[in-house]
Structure 1
Amino acid sequence: VNRFCLVSHLAKSFRGKLSSTFPSLSPPSLLKAIFSVDPNEVRSLIFKKEDVNVQDSEKRTPLHAAAYLGDADIIELLILSGARVNAKDNKWLTPLHRAVASCSEDAVCMLIKHSADVNARDKNWQTPLHVAANNKAIRVAEALVPLLSNVNVSDRGGRTALHHAAFSGHLEMVKLLLSRGANIDAFDKKDRRAIHWAKQNGMLTKWYEMVCHMEVVRLLVSSGINQGNIYGNSALHMASYNGQDVVVNELIEAGASINQVNERGLSALHFSACSRQGALCLELLLGNGANVNIRSKDGKTPLHMAAVHGRFSRSQAVIQNGAEVDCEDKNGNSPLHIAARYGHQLLINTLLTHGANTAKRGVHGMFPLHLAALSGFSDCCRKLLSSDFHIDTPDHFGRTCLHAAAAGGNLECLNLLLNTGADFNRKDRFGRTPLHYACCNSKSQCVFALVGSGAGVNELDERGCSPLHYAAAGTEGKCVEYLLRSDANPGIRDRQGYNPVHYASAYGHTLCLELISRETPLDVLMETSGTDILSDSDNHALISPLHLAAYHGHCGVLEVLAAGLLEVDIRTPEGRTPLSLACSRGHQECVSLLLHHGAHTHTKDYTLKRTALHVAAMNGHSDCLRLLINNTDTHNSVDVQDANGQTPLMLAVLSGHTESVYSLLSRGADVEAKDHWGRTALHRGAVSGHEECVEALLQRGASVCVCDRAGRSPLHLAAACGHTGVLGALLQAANALHTHTLLIDNHGYTPLHWACYNGYDGCVELLLEQEVFKKTQGNHFSPLHCAVSPLHAAAFSDHVECVSLLLSHGAQANTSDTHTRTTPLMMAAHNGQTNAVEVLVSSAKADLTLQDTNKNTALHLACSKGHETSALLILEKISDRNFINCTNTSLQTPLHVAARNGLTVVVQELLGKGASVLAVDENGYTPALSCAPNRDVADCLALILNSMLPASPLVSITTLPASPRVTMATLQSVNHYSNHQSKGVAFESPPPLRTDHTSYCRQDRLLCVSPDDDNEFNDSDSETY
């Protein structure tokens, strides 16, 4: 019967889903047959070409339905007819998930037989094994586990199947998973093990389920009973919090640490003291020696925790077991402070009975009575009042209990303290009386009581504020009305010059403002010009109430003020009007109201000379902008300029406010207007990249080729900023106008130069499609050390994509400028742009032998700046020994330069390719001497090296063979050192370097007479040289 009801219910649900998916069709007959569990009907419908993979609105197929029903015959029939065995619904559940959830072993085996994915995950990353563990499907799990490579796969929360089994209390499933290798110490994403989940489930209703649950606990406690989760909570913490006294007892007997604390320093006793169900757990913990005075990191003991939640019976238990009654937390609060703060009267009785100190100071020096009065617990206040306690004793800020009661707003507490003799005019450290606090919190009943008791209504605090200031800022009009009737002065100003009118305007309290204006008209409170406050004071507010109301969008207040004041165009010290402030915030109603009262739209501020039109356009408040435009009289009003010559249209385009741009253009805004730098609105659109704004300007005929003072057109700026869409629109407009002039700015740079320099390959490609840019010409690029072409610019910035694009469009890799004869390769090598060097050397086959005006090759330049990788890339392509030893104007070879800069790998490669170690530069230094930091060190090094040679008895200078190359180098060295005026000494000729040992064993060598002689020669000091 249950199965029939379930099938009928599911059939109705499934048909409803399909009806919503196919509103014009009835539910498929195949689905009806499946839910009728009629294999013959299913077979007949399949034979009639019924779609076996039809989906409902949740993407469930007929195979999902059959798997949920657990009918293996229908499942096999559907699969053999083409049903997708691993189809997923919108929750990513496969038919196997459905079959496992139904605990149908036959259905699961049938799906597995037809290659169902046993590792499939749903949207929660749960596999069929997770589903089996959560549904007591033990036989299904036995069928799945042998097919899995890992039973410890976790879901999205990091939980394994063992976590799910432990949480559900499935003993047999836990045993199965553990026997198949489940990791009992696996953590979820909150560092909880399976044992934590076993405690999480709470007290079970049935005794049998409790027994099974406890067996699971016993099975898990053997591994890491004191392990904490991500918050440091152990199993004992969680069991204590959930009131599982049986589990707590089991854990204690298993050796759980009773006083172990979590990351906040809370023990299990803290948890049981505050938990709703923790009474029995607390008794167990106390009976097993739990520390009753253990403190958390914020200094709270279990008694504090009981006080927070009002567990007075548990507070009695911990006190009886030795808890300290007046212990303090980090804020200085005792349990009595906590109980008073939360109004736990019974717990207060318990604490007072056990000697708690009512005069003990807590946070900010407040007494328990302060906290009870602040929270409005009158019964607690009565308990805490004692004959020896002085009612006006202040806290650290000078506030008495009456201040706290007035701020809390409980009339009963206030009257209790007043009747006890509290001073209602006493001021705290800030000069505030209890009446200030009552008005600030809009506690009208307390205001009535304090004023009726004689509290001064015009008392000022240190800021110069009276109670009426605070009442005007509050939401309760009754406070303002009562104070005014009690002779409160509305003309009093604070130290900044603000009166209650300002406060009411700033907070938008129309009723308070109306009450003040009825008592004293605004033209009396404010000067007739509307620019100042009462003339009998030295305090002057810099901002009027109109500005405050307009800025915050308080339309009701603004209407009261505009009706009561003569001038609505009053200005701030910066020259801002209320209309300008309202436009900046987009308060359309306020703008409309101010315009209705005669506010001028063209009033400029003092600094940037901007009008309300500028402000509205800049901030994109199109509704306000339309109101302003409709209230202007002259046609040129929309083109008003600020201090920099910017029009509202320019500012709207710069900020990308398309709707505002269209509003201004519809009223005839000039698209060709220029600012002081000669830039138009289109220039700003090119920089900001707002394509819709640019399209709107182009539709109105904005000129693409107009140039600013630097000669840059919008095309230059769009290319420099990399806005491909904007650049395309500009080029299309230029082509439509047949503008074929190559745009060059005042420095000779084209848009292509700028795009290459900044590495915007999309812009480069777009520009190269234009015929006018295919000739890569232009002036030298001074910031790039005289780069002549866009290829130089791209190489300088190492933008490989741009380099490749330029080369593919015919750019010459060996082109050089007329000033320094620098090629793109030289520029890239000089700046260490490795990628550009690789492209130019490998793909472009750049000429490595070219030299600049100083006869430096690309290899010289790479070595001179210490760019080792670039130098090695160039060396890979060099095989000519003459090129390796080529010199610059200073007669330095690449070896000189590399050695001087300490490029070890480069020096090694140069030597391997035949670089001469005897080459002498213009100073007479060989590469070895070039390593010296200065000339003096080089001279000293030469002296030392020269003096080492005579030490060898087998070698003399006169016996060394003379070669033209060695002799020339020697003579140059001798000439250099002998002509060195600073030293005044002459040196012997330095010996030549040998490249290998065999060079000394030639037939013409007189000394090579025996192997012994040769060995002795190899051990000489000359070997070191």
Structure 2
Amino acid sequence: LGVLSTPRPPLVQAIFNRDVEEVRSLLNQKENINVLDQERRTPLHAAAYIGDVAILELLILSGESQGPPKSGLHPELAGRKALHVLLKHQADVNARDKHWQTPLHVAAANRATKCVEALVPLLSTVNVADRTGRTALHHAVHSGHLEMVNLLLNKGASPSTCDKKDRQPLHWAAFLGHLEVLKLLVARGADVTCKDRRGYTLLHTAAAGGQIEVVRHLLRLGVEIDEPNSFGNTALHIACYMGQDAVANELVNVGANVNQPNEKGFTPLHFAAVSTNGALCLEILVNNGADVNFQSKEGKSPLHMAAIHGRFTRSQILIQNGSEIDCADKYGNTPLHVAARYGHELLISTLMTNGADTARRGIHDMFPLHLAVLFGFSDCCRKLLSSGQLYSIVSSLSNEHVLSAGFDINTPDSLGRTCLHAAASGGNVECLNLLLSSGADLRRKDKFGRTPLHYAAANGSYQCAVTLVTAGAAVNEPDGKGCSALHYAAASDTYRRAEVPCGGSEEEPLKESRLKEAFFCLEFLLDNGADPSLRDKQGYTAVHYAAAYGNRQNLELLLEMSFNCLEDVESSVPVSPLHLAAYNGHCEALKALAETLVNLDVRDHKGRTALYLATERGASECVQVLTSHGASALVKERKRKWTPLHAAAANGNTDSLHLLIDSGERADITDVMDIHGQTPLMLAIMNGHVDCVHLLLDKGSTADAADKRGRTALHRGAVTGCQDCVAALLEHDAFALCRDWRGRTPLHLASARGHLPALRSLLRAALATDPLDAGVDYSGFSPMHWASYSGHEDCLELLLEHNPFAYLEGNPFTPLHCAVINNQEGTAEMLVEALGAKIVNSRDAKGRTPLHAAAFADNVRALQLLLRHQAQVDSADRLGRTPLMVASESGHSAALEFLLFQAKANITVLDVNKNTALHLACSKGHEKCALLILGETQDLGLINASNSALQMPLHIAARNGLASVVQALLSRGATVLAVDEEGHTPALACAPNKDVADCLALILSTMKPFPPKDALGSFSLGLLTNCGIAAKAAALPHGSSCPYSPERPGAIGLDGCYPE
């Protein structure tokens, strides 16, 4: 529980003083028995903590007894009496502190058995958990109090209950070495093989705690000795990592696998090699056959692990027991590379003494020396240079090299960097001097064309730069990108990052020191001939780099040195320093430039000024600097003609927008328009930036300004549905009925997008403005049309409540037409239920009903809905077409099938061109629809019906290549010799055009006469069979009359083909 927070309530203070009389006195004075301290602990918690059962009972039995408390009160009797008094005085035995611990938790943790005996009868369960999921039994086991554990178990505590990490009381007993408690728990049913959430067994936890007796007992119980946890670690791994040598020895002696790898391939020996206290564990493992050369999945051997932390003694043991000196991991690094990287000089000596190869290539083909100098370990550098440099033994007789070893100090890595490059990058001048004195080539370039001086300058290393220049390095030597050392020095603070603790006290002083050193480096280069006017291959000078990376001191120095070429500095080719500083938000660098340069409105290739970029990026401090130095807020970029105000409003940068408006450049600055006529207010609303909207309106932006399409800010508010924006505009008297180039008001757009709150506000404003406005656009569509078409039921409901007969105004293509044609069943049903038959059978300008629209959209459910409400299934439009004919022509088989089979639509209706539904299906090539119609009829009158062009369905089906339809027509007795108005039979209708048909007719007319009837019959049947369309239906009776095809000259039926 810890010390209770001060100030303590008087009752809690009396309890901690163990002053029973004072406690009784306070209770008699009606002191709040459930008072909470700052940690939300009650007096019951305090009494349980100090373990004073007398005070605890006094609190529970407050007010019942005037005599001295009886500390030996029997629990059951106490429970019966306490329960009544507790309810009467409301002493809360279930009170929880901020850790959710009850008085029972506190008493169990502090071995207060008498208190527990007094509390348990008043509780519904002893298994209540605290914030971490631990019960009173967890706390009792943690304390190791056998009597308390036994008491709780007897009172119903579950021995296998888990906390939020799935740890059971057994885990705590094993970890803390409470052997007797562990035995008791096991005897009461706890599972000795239990695991927590991360797979830790009791053996793992006992090994971690170094509890040798618990380990032995668990082993006697038969637990699995090599059971891995979720990370693959066995108990031996854990013992070695924690440095528990006695446990490790016990596990090894009873047969633990010393070479079992975990999920990353590390064995217990790897853990022993790296652990702070693992030296004895390592000896035990090595002496018991552990593989000293076992490599992890990354290729690291135990010797690699020892090298990371410089475990000198352990590395010697490993080497003496056969560890491979030059074993390489998957990056190519040997233990010598690792020791050099972490600066362990003594270990380097040991490895080199035992034959480690100093010329072995590691990561990026680096030598160990690369790594030592890169991380600034001069002692390691000295050691590697003294013993590892290339040497040769020359024969005195033959004058030839007979032996050579070591490495060439100028050997590059895979990126062309020598050890001198690495030392310059590391910034340790001692390492640099050692390399130079050993013959390192300071003019050597890497694959990017960079010399060591480039690296020293990039890291702002003044001393290294001085050393290299003094030794003869060329200060104006360009690299592959055309950058000199001065370019890198100008941006040096970006490249160099010191490793300091996050939020540490040394961060600011260290940063200041780094900045000073970088400045001295730049100054030194300039003093020694570095040319500030040099440009890289992209055209950037050192001034550009300093501006881009925000180093004001460097920038001021470079500007001073570039005073004679300020025109080049101000140039926007490719980008001016002003733009770079503004884009990256470097206000200090921007201030230095603004105080030096004359023109702050220079534009880049897209026409953007520095102020535009700063505003777009939300760098309000940069905006303030530029506006205070006279930068214009009205310069437009080239593509969209946006000003900085447009950019600020579109991106929601309120602070920047405020600064731009307050610059006072023009009275109507807030109403400046872009190429589309949009004001900043419109852009702020389109992107939902409410703060910018309020600011612009308060600063005088015109609420009803329209763009080139007549759309205002209110139109945009309706589209986005931003209620706050719409409300702000209406508060500033925006006109709710303003119309765009198509006559649409904001109400139309809000209805189309389904923004109910905005629509409600706009409707209210529209009624207040002009209650007689019809509210239709230039196409005659009202907001109700758009809400119905888009399926926004809530908006439609509001509009119907407002004016249910609005559909009578404007376009006769009603909202119901709109709903069914766009498959919006919800709005269609609302309209039908609200308006009934009046709208169900309404007609548009072409005489089409909503049923026509549903058929056109193949909307079967809408067809069902409309027919349930007395829609006329055979109503014809002005072209004489019924919904069935519309479905046929559109090829909508589902709608056609419903109208045919369920609605029983008339298939014999003719349109103004005497086309039937079958004609229309064939004319559009809708084979399935044609077959559905034919499946419903055997009527020759329909099959041979001709339209105004004297074409039968057979003509049209043949012309469109509908083989299955032709087959069905022929099987039902379709006339094959009937001619259309051009004199063509169905056979000639197959010709691609009239000329081809005429030619085919001429050819047929000169052919030999037909063979006899029987021969012709067999011939024609064979032809039909070969064509795949042989008639399968029974012969139809001849002579039936056709009401759709009146007799005409030249029309010959099948009966007239063959004379008797």
Name the TM-score class by shorter chain: 0.7 to 0.9
Letter in 2 for 1:16: P
- State TM-score, norm by structure 1: 0.76
Give the secondary structure class of the aligned counterpart of 2:840: coil
CA 1:505–1:923 in 2, change beyond 3 Å: closer, same or farther? same
How far has the Cα of 1:759 moved from its partner? 4.8
2:565 paired with 1:524: yes
1:218 alignment partner in structure 2: 219
CA 1:248–1:984 in 2, change beyond 3 Å: closer, same or farther? closer
CA 1:827–1:704 in 2, change beyond 3 Å: closer, same or farther? farther
Letter in 1 for 2:541: N
How far has the Cα of 1:615 moved from its partner? 1.8
2:298 alignment partner in structure 1: 298
Judge conservation of contact 1:707–1:713 (CA < 8 Å) in 2: yes
Letter in 2 for 1:415: N
1:989 alignment partner in structure 2: 1034
CA 1:919–1:134 in 2, change beyond 3 Å: closer, same or farther? farther
How far has the Cα of 1:937 moved from its partner? 6.7
State the alpha-carbon separation in 2 of the partners of residues 233 and 177 from structure 1: 26
Judge conservation of contact 1:236–1:251 (CA < 8 Å) in 2: yes
2:162 paired with 1:154: yes
1:809-841 deviation line (CA, Å, top 9, x unaligned): 5667982553554459968994587xx999x69
1:793 alignment partner in structure 2: 819
CA 1:507–1:50 in 2, change beyond 3 Å: closer, same or farther? closer
2:124 paired with 1:116: yes
Judge conservation of contact 2:820–2:857 (CA < 8 Å) in 1: no
How far has the Cα of 1:466 moved from its partner? 0.6
CA 1:272–1:740 in 2, change beyond 3 Å: closer, same or farther? farther
1:456 alignment partner in structure 2: 474
State the alpha-carbon separation in 2 of the partners of residues 684 and 618 from structure 1: 13
State the alpha-carbon separation in 2 of the partners of residues 305 and 567 from structure 1: 61
2:468 paired with 1:428: no
How far has the Cα of 1:710 moved from its partner? 3.1
CA 1:347–1:990 in 2, change beyond 3 Å: closer, same or farther? farther
2:549 alignment partner in structure 1: 507
2:230 alignment partner in structure 1: 230
Judge conservation of contact 1:70–1:99 (CA < 8 Å) in 2: no
2:710 paired with 1:710: no
Percent identity between matched residues is 44
More displaced 10-residue stretch of structure 1: 653-662 or 404-413: 653-662
Letter in 2 for 1:472: A
More displaced 10-residue stretch of structure 1: 549-558 or 750-759: 750-759
2:848 paired with 1:815: no
State the alpha-carbon separation in 2 of the partners of residues 821 and 170 from structure 1: 88
State the alpha-carbon separation in 2 of the partners of residues 649 and 984 from structure 1: 70
State the alpha-carbon separation in 1 of the partners of residues 789 and 114 from structure 2: 70
How far has the Cα of 1:984 moved from its partner? 8.9
Alignment of structure 1 residues 407-806 onto 2, 5 Å: 407-475=425-493, 476-521=518-563, 523-527=564-568, 530-531=570-571, 541-739=573-771, 741-769=773-801, 771-773=802-804, 788-789=814-815, 793=819
Aligned residue among 141, 161, 168 for 1:133: 141
1:763-809 deviation line (CA, Å, top 9, x unaligned): 4444444x22575667789xxxx7x4369638955675x67766775
Judge conservation of contact 1:831–1:865 (CA < 8 Å) in 2: no
State the alpha-carbon separation in 2 of the partners of residues 413 and 603 from structure 1: 54
CA 1:41–1:307 in 2, change beyond 3 Å: closer, same or farther? closer
1:404 alignment partner in structure 2: 422
CA 1:50–1:364 in 2, change beyond 3 Å: closer, same or farther? closer
Q: CA RMSD in A?
A: 4.5
Judge conservation of contact 2:167–2:196 (CA < 8 Å) in 1: yes
Judge conservation of contact 2:967–2:1031 (CA < 8 Å) in 1: no
Alignment of structure 1 residues 821-900 onto 2, 5 Å: 821-822=849-850, 830-831=858-859, 883=902
State the alpha-carbon separation in 2 of the partners of residues 812 and 152 from structure 1: 72
State the alpha-carbon separation in 2 of the partners of residues 943 and 129 from structure 1: 92
How far has the Cα of 1:587 moved from its partner? 3.2
Judge conservation of contact 1:686–1:727 (CA < 8 Å) in 2: yes
Give the secondary structure class of the aligned counterpart of 1:526: helix
How far has the Cα of 1:358 moved from its partner? 0.7
Judge conservation of contact 2:632–2:665 (CA < 8 Å) in 1: no
CA 1:344–1:106 in 2, change beyond 3 Å: closer, same or farther? same
Which residues of structure 2 form unaligned runs of 5+? 61-78, 392-406, 494-517, 909-915, 919-925, 929-933, 945-960, 972-1020, 1037-1060
Judge conservation of contact 2:371–2:422 (CA < 8 Å) in 1: yes
Judge conservation of contact 1:178–1:184 (CA < 8 Å) in 2: yes
State the alpha-carbon separation in 2 of the partners of residues 159 and 617 from structure 1: 55
Judge conservation of contact 1:129–1:161 (CA < 8 Å) in 2: yes
How far has the Cα of 1:265 moved from its partner? 1.0
Letter in 2 for 1:357: D
State the alpha-carbon separation in 2 of the partners of residues 59 and 774 from structure 1: 65
How far has the Cα of 1:232 moved from its partner? 1.7
- State TM-score, norm by structure 2: 0.74
How far has the Cα of 1:414 moved from its partner? 0.5
Alignment of structure 1 residues 941-952 onto 2, 5 Å: none
State the alpha-carbon separation in 1 of the partners of residues 279 and 257 from structure 2: 19
State the alpha-carbon separation in 2 of the partners of residues 120 and 798 from structure 1: 55
State the alpha-carbon separation in 1 of the partners of residues 20 and 303 from structure 2: 69
State the alpha-carbon separation in 2 of the partners of residues 759 and 171 from structure 1: 72
How far has the Cα of 1:170 moved from its partner? 2.4
Judge conservation of contact 1:828–1:837 (CA < 8 Å) in 2: no
Letter in 1 for 2:549: Y
State the alpha-carbon separation in 2 of the partners of residues 36 and 519 from structure 1: 77
Give the secondary structure class of the aligned counterpart of 2:7: helix
State the alpha-carbon separation in 2 of the partners of residues 629 and 985 from structure 1: 85
State the alpha-carbon separation in 2 of the partners of residues 393 and 410 from structure 1: 20
1:974 alignment partner in structure 2: none
How far has the Cα of 1:261 moved from its partner? 1.1
Letter in 2 for 1:194: L
1:515-549 deviation line (CA, Å, top 9, x unaligned): 2233331x425349x336xxxxxxxx310111112
Alignment of structure 1 residues 361-376 onto 2, 5 Å: 361-376=361-376
Judge conservation of contact 1:463–1:495 (CA < 8 Å) in 2: yes
State the alpha-carbon separation in 2 of the partners of residues 117 and 46 from structure 1: 28
How far has the Cα of 1:381 moved from its partner? 1.4
State the alpha-carbon separation in 1 of the partners of residues 836 and 100 from structure 2: 54
CA 1:589–1:53 in 2, change beyond 3 Å: closer, same or farther? closer
State the alpha-carbon separation in 2 of the partners of residues 824 and 79 from structure 1: 79
How far has the Cα of 1:489 moved from its partner? 1.0
Give the secondary structure class of the aligned counterpart of 1:416: helix
How far has the Cα of 1:313 moved from its partner? 1.2
State the alpha-carbon separation in 1 of the partners of residues 182 and 428 from structure 2: 57
CA 1:112–1:636 in 2, change beyond 3 Å: closer, same or farther? same
Letter in 1 for 2:295: R
How far has the Cα of 1:130 moved from its partner? 2.9
2:7 alignment partner in structure 1: 16
Letter in 1 for 2:94: N
How far has the Cα of 1:167 moved from its partner? 2.6
How far has the Cα of 1:760 moved from its partner? 4.5
How far has the Cα of 1:268 moved from its partner? 0.9
1:682-713 deviation line (CA, Å, top 9, x unaligned): 12222233333322211111011112223332
How far has the Cα of 1:101 moved from its partner? 2.7
Letter in 2 for 1:304: H
Letter in 1 for 2:1034: S
Letter in 1 for 2:535: R
Judge conservation of contact 2:967–2:1029 (CA < 8 Å) in 1: no
State the alpha-carbon separation in 2 of the partners of residues 45 and 57 from structure 1: 20
CA 1:41–1:888 in 2, change beyond 3 Å: closer, same or farther? farther
CA 1:832–1:459 in 2, change beyond 3 Å: closer, same or farther? farther
2:227 paired with 1:196: no
State the alpha-carbon separation in 2 of the partners of residues 42 and 828 from structure 1: 88
How far has the Cα of 1:215 moved from its partner? 4.5
Letter in 2 for 1:158: D
Judge conservation of contact 2:458–2:485 (CA < 8 Å) in 1: yes
2:101 alignment partner in structure 1: 93
Give the secondary structure class of the aligned counterpart of 1:635: coil
